[in-house]
């Protein structure tokens, strides 16, 4: 079992990573002073609930907790205000009060949604995360919770830190392969922005990770969470440093915006975005290796490293110009200057970016 602390002063919390932690859930709840007089509400999605919900409920009930549960449809579209309303109704029906906790059992979608329920129900109650995807290592650090608006992703939300995060590696065994790769994309990102030797490790262990080897997974998630925790601790409210976590995300979000429904996973789009950022790095004078190694490690993790041919460059550029990372007209990008090191450049020209998106597409055509 690995443990790390997200250091946020009064709001600090631990992340536990290991095999079989679900079976010990009740003792973790007790350890973190979650009382058993007020009911808990567990929120899961329609893929995760049939696999792990009964187990979690049973373990918590055996530990003396009253539990209620709510199952939302799998997929990003559950991150909506309408679903927030439904879940608040469920919380009221179940009698949740100010001492209750909301438990997110699932990936980033359920984490973000359940987290916003916890942040806003009675103006904020306790929140526990039980992540079941690799990508959720990212959302389990930093307390960013949100739902989407038809016009913009994650635009309605809060900062709400969990009491603790319980990461049972066993639950990852049932993850579909595409979700495994997509999650690894953010793991690699945490290496690329902070820790060159971890990038080496990812490259050397990519096969084991894709095969869901628990020990490799445990280490990768531990390192990924640690990097994000280090960044977030220095910048809880996203004022400065935290921006480096957006490596690959400006291009990636634009690709997601243009992609058809379910065509591109978040981690896949981010992977292409990180390749684009590496190309930008070269233009700022980074050594060639920044690009080649970035590409190699992401490819080994089963991720796309070029833009599929049917994407329209102008549409992607238009989407990019709408991205919230464009502060007051200035174009800001996170740019790798070495493996494990990035800088924030605020003078990136639209022309360069367009050339880079074109290159990303050209490379797909060459394959």
Going by the annotation, the residues of the binding site for NAD(+) are 108-112, 132-133, 144, 153, 171-174
Among residues 237 and 260, whose Cβ is nearest to a copy of itself? 237
Q: Are 145 and 156 in contact (CB under 8 A)?
A: no
- Which residues share a beta bridge with 343? 335
Question: Which parts are annotated binding residues?
Answer: 108-112, 132-133, 144, 153, 171-174, 186, 249, 266
Q: Is 179 in the site for ligand NAD (CB under 6 A)?
A: yes
| 242 is a catalytic site residue | yes
Which residues between 210 and 269 bind a copy of itself (CB under 8 A)?
238
How does DSSP classify residue 52? I
Indicate the SS3 state at residue 226. helix
Q: Is 137 in the site for ligand NAD (CB under 6 A)?
A: no
- Count Cβ neighbours within 10 Å for each residue of 189-210 and write b for 16 or more, e otherwise: bbbbbbbeebbebbbebbeebb
| 203 is a catalytic site residue | no
Taking the C-alpha atoms of residue 127 and residue 103, their distance in angstroms, rounded to an integer, is 6
Taking the C-alpha atoms of residue 329 and residue 349, their distance in angstroms, rounded to an integer, is 12
- Which residues share a beta bridge with 49? none
Taking the C-alpha atoms of residue 86 and residue 211, their distance in angstroms, rounded to an integer, is 38
Instruction: Take residue 77 and report the two structure tokens written for it.
Output: 């579209």
Stretch binding ligand NAD (CB under 6 A), from 12-20, 55-63, 130-138, 191-199: 130-138
Q: Is 71 in the site for ligand NAD (CB under 6 A)?
A: no
- 282 class by beta-carbon count within 10 Å (0-12 exposed, 13-18 middle, 19+ buried): middle
Rg, Å, the chain Cα set: 20
Q: Active site residue: 79, 126, 144, 300, which one? A: 144
Going by C-beta distance under 8 Å and a sequence separation of 6 or more, which residues neighbour residue 267?
135, 181, 182, 183, 184, 185, 186, 303
Stretch binding a copy of itself (CB under 8 A), from 19-27, 83-91, 173-181, 204-212: 83-91
Output the residue with the shortest Cβ distance to ligand NAD. 108
In the list 107, 273, 302, 336, the residue contacting ligand NAD (rule: CB under 6 A) is: 107
Q: Is 84 in the site for a copy of itself (CB under 8 A)?
A: yes
Stretch binding a copy of itself (CB under 8 A), from 23-31, 42-50, 87-95, 183-191: 87-95
In the list 44, 72, 104, 146, the residue contacting a copy of itself (rule: CB under 8 A) is: 146
- Which residues share a beta bridge with 13? 6
Q: Is 81 in the site for a copy of itself (CB under 8 A)?
A: yes
Binding mask 18-57 for a copy of itself (x = CB under 8 A): -------------------xx-------------------
| 310 is a catalytic site residue | no
Binding site for a copy of itself (CB under 8 A): 37-38, 81-82, 84-85, 88-89, 92-93, 97-99, 119-124, 144, 146, 149-152, 155-159, 238, 324, 327-328
Q: Which residues are catalytic, by number?
A: 123, 144, 186, 228, 238, 242, 246, 249, 253, 266
């Amino acid at each position: 079992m690995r443990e790390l602390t997200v250091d946020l002063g009064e709001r600090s919390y631990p992340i536990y990573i290991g095999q079989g932690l679900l079976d010990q859930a009740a003792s973790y709840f007790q350890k973190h002073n979650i009382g058993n007089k007020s009911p808990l509400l567990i929120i899961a999605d329609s893929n995760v609930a049939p696999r792990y919900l009964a187990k979690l409920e049973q373990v918590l009930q055996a530990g003396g907790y009253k539990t209620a549960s709510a199952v939302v449809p799998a997929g990003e579209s559950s991150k909506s205000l309408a679903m927030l309303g439904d879940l608040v109704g469920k919380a009221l029906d179940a009698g949740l009060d100010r001492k209750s906790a909301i438990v997110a059992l699932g990936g980033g979608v359920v984490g973000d949604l359940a987290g916003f329920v916890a942040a806003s129900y009675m103006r904020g109650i306790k929140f526990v995360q039980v992540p079941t995807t690799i990508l959720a290592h990212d959302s389990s650090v930093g307390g960013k919770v949100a739902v989407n608006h038809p016009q913009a992703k994650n635009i309605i939300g809060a900062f709400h830190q969990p009491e603790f995060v319980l990461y049972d590696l066993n639950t990852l065994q049932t993850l579909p392969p595409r979700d495994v790769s997509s999650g690894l994309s953010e793991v690699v990102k945490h290496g690329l922005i902070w820790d060159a030797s971890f990038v080496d490790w990812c490259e050397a262990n990519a096969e084991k990770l894709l095969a869901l080897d628990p020990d490799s997974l445990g280490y990768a998630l531990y390192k990924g969470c640690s990097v994000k925790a280090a960044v977030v601790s220095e910048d809880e409210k996203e004022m400065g440093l935290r921006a480096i976590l957006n490596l690959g995300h400006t291009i990636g979000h634009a690709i997601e915006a243009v992609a058809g429904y379910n065509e591109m996973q978040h981690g896949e789009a981010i992977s292409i975005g990180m390749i684009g950022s590496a190309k930008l790095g070269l233009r700022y004078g980074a050594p060639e290796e920044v690009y080649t190694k970035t590409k190699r490690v992401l490819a080994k993790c089963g991720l796309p490293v070029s833009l599929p041919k049917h994407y329209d460059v102008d549409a992607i550029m238009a989407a990019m110009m709408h991205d919230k990372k464009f502060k007051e007209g200035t174009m800001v990008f996170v740019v790798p200057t070495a493996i494990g090191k990035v800088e924030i450049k605020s003078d990136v020209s639209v022309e360069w970016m367009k050339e880079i998106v074109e290159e990303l597409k050209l490379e797909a055509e060459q394959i």
